[in-house]
Structure 1
Amino acid sequence: MKGALIMALSMALFTLNDVFMKSLAGEVSLYQILTLRNGAVTLVLLALAARTGAFRRGLSRRDAGLAVIRGLAEVATAYFFLNALFNMPLANVTAVLQSAPLVVMVAAAIFLNEPVGWRRASAVAAGFVGVLLIVRPGPEGFNIFAIYTLIAVGCITVRDIVTRKLSREAPTFLVTAITSGLVCVAFGLYSVNVEWVALTPVSGGLILGAVVVIVGAYICSVQAMRVGEVSFVSPFRYTALLWALLLGFVVFGDFPAPLTLLGAAIVVGSGLYSFYRELQVTRRAAVPSTRP
């Protein structure tokens, strides 16, 4: 339960970060925001890596290469996700992102040969139907930013598959610092041709708030997995949707259409069922056979 509560807190902090970022839309360019935010986040993560002895352990050449690939996937994720976030309701974008674990499951079956039975495959299919209800590919509900959210899910899938291939010895904070550092450098280079604006107390405060909450979110997400069982804690990632619904309504006055809510419920239900099936399969594998 402690791990579950920490995971729920992590999702609240990630969603609060999205609120801060969305609040900056139209006032500060995306490139300036990410250069400043991730520059500060990287420094904090490097300090945490040093404090936890990550530099002494270091990274193997293989893990360093994977960390760079992970970072590049995060650069693409940040670009597509935040462009969608700036132009779509918070809850809609968050709801589509909840399909990422389902897509990761499919990718793991294809590229990592992880077994996926017909029940979980059916849950994935149902989840994709839910995504279609959210983005509504028709002349009224569909736009380019809905495509951006789907591309962001694909980038998250690449990031998570690469993360699974890292060795257990790879220090978490060091890998995360490399990821954040690449985001800072990439968008810093992009911002060379973009006019930077002077920060106001409000915009500066929002960026500082984003730094604080996203570092807290990273720490909580790591801690949640360390103090709780992964199979029990992971489903609490879906509390992000509840926070997005609440904060989207309170801060921006947005509330999803009924079809969006139905699609979100299908996506979350499919994800929860997939976690349940994975837990069942894992427990069965752990029970020794009684056959001679």
Structure 2
Amino acid sequence: MMNHNLRAAALLTLGMLLFAGEDALIKTLTRELPFSQVLGMIGLAGVLVFGGLLRLGGGRFWTRDLLAPAVVLRNSGEAVSAVAIVLALGLADLSVTAAITQAVPLFITFGAALLLGERVGWRRATAIGLGFVGVLLIVKPGLAGFEPASLWAVVAAAGLAARDLATRRVPARMSSPHLSASAFAAILLGAVLMGLVLGETPVPPTAAQTLLALGCVTLTITGYTLLVAATRIGEASALAPVRYARLVFALILARIVFGERLDPLTLAGAAIIVGSGCYTLWREARLSRRASALVPAGTAPVQPASGASGSRAA
């Protein structure tokens, strides 16, 4: 199992690097194009890619499954988080946005306890509370370094958590390409509404800008593929800390590419979020193994609140 975990960790580390690169490309595009257009280009590319895969597999996009409450909620969370992420990356620092969105596993566990009635013990409850303290240190409400735009990253984290919680109730018959195509379609719709609200007018993208948008989707799809491969061969508890490599890569890109300076409160908050998230994921994996060992063969064990979060467009 050790060799499997090492291979999985290597795959997941590469996936986290690709996701961090995706964020950097989005931030670069928002400097040159309207926010809604950046989001729309990514959404359209995703619809074409996953819609094409769906067609190749003989599936249809317009089915009654798209109206299932869980699918509607999942796609709504996807759209809200995508809009918020683009706004956060465009208006706030990459380092701040990346650090806050690493709190998604904590939001998921909190949401599972609050909305789904899943049991969360005092250890994970304490970790969640500490994680939210870390978020406050990064946002700095009421302090001189407060950036209102950083609140969009909090909205994005909540949207991603809602998406992942809703995914648990999605009809099992929906294929991954179908679910992904519908998610990108929701993102495209969100981009249209975003443009109307902000009063933005699309501009003709250059060839370089179009390639950057395609690069975002390519990094997302490749990163998600690596994420799935890693989680299939490695143990969740062993991979939990590796997920936060994305934050490390994002901080490096923020410093080198965008010249951002990291203040002590942001670094402290990021460290608290990572520590709390790692403990929460490790604890949930341990409880899941314990539940599986206690339940008789042939009976599905009750799963604890899962804090695992994949790609935004997964």
Question: Equivalent residue for 1:159?
Answer: 163
CA distance in 2, matches of 1:79, 1:26: 16
Q: Which has the higher contact order (CA 8 A, sep 6+)?
A: 1
CA distance in 2, matches of 1:151, 1:190: 15
Q: CA deviation at 1:221?
A: 2.6
Q: CA deviation at 1:3?
A: 2.6
1:114 and 2:113 correspond? no
1:251 and 2:218 correspond? no
Tell me if the contact between 2:106 and 2:128 (Cα under 8 Å) persists in the aligned partners: yes
CA distance in 2, matches of 1:126, 1:186: 32
Among 232, 237, 245, the alignment partner of 2:243 is: 237
TM-score (norm 2): 0.83
RMSD: 2.4
Q: CA deviation at 1:59?
A: 7.0
Among 11, 33, 43, the alignment partner of 1:38 is: 43
Tell me which moved more, 206-215 or 128-137.
206-215
TM-score (norm 1): 0.89
1:29 and 2:34 correspond? yes
Among 61, 76, 79, the alignment partner of 2:80 is: 76
Tell me if the contact between 2:240 and 2:282 (Cα under 8 Å) persists in the aligned partners: no
Q: How does 1:129-148 map to 2 (within 5 A)?
A: 129-148=133-152
Partner deviation per Cα, 1:143-189 (whole Å, 9 max, x = no partner): 32122121122211211110122244432221111001111133235
Among 12, 17, 23, the alignment partner of 2:22 is: 17
Q: Structure 2: which amino acid aligns with 1:250?
A: I
CA distance in 2, matches of 1:59, 1:9: 35
Aligned identity (percent) is 35
Question: Equivalent residue for 2:303?
Answer: none
Partner deviation per Cα, 1:68-92 (whole Å, 9 max, x = no partner): 3211211111111211111222111
Question: Equivalent residue for 2:98?
Answer: 94
Partner deviation per Cα, 1:58-116 (whole Å, 9 max, x = no partner): 97748844223211211111111211111222111111111111111011012222221
Tell me which moved more, 197-206 or 68-77.
197-206
SS at match of 2:257: helix
Q: CA deviation at 1:56?
A: 7.9
SS at match of 2:90: helix
Partner deviation per Cα, 1:189-227 (whole Å, 9 max, x = no partner): 554653221222332232222122122123223333333
Aligned residues: 288
1:217 and 2:233 correspond? no
SS at match of 1:255: coil
CA distance in 1, matches of 2:58, 2:77: 22
SS at match of 1:9: helix
Q: Structure 2: which amino acid aligns with 1:85?
A: L
Tell me if the contact between 1:91 and 1:256 (Cα under 8 Å) persists in the aligned partners: yes
Residue 47 to residue 262, structure 1, CA distance change in 2 (3 Å): same
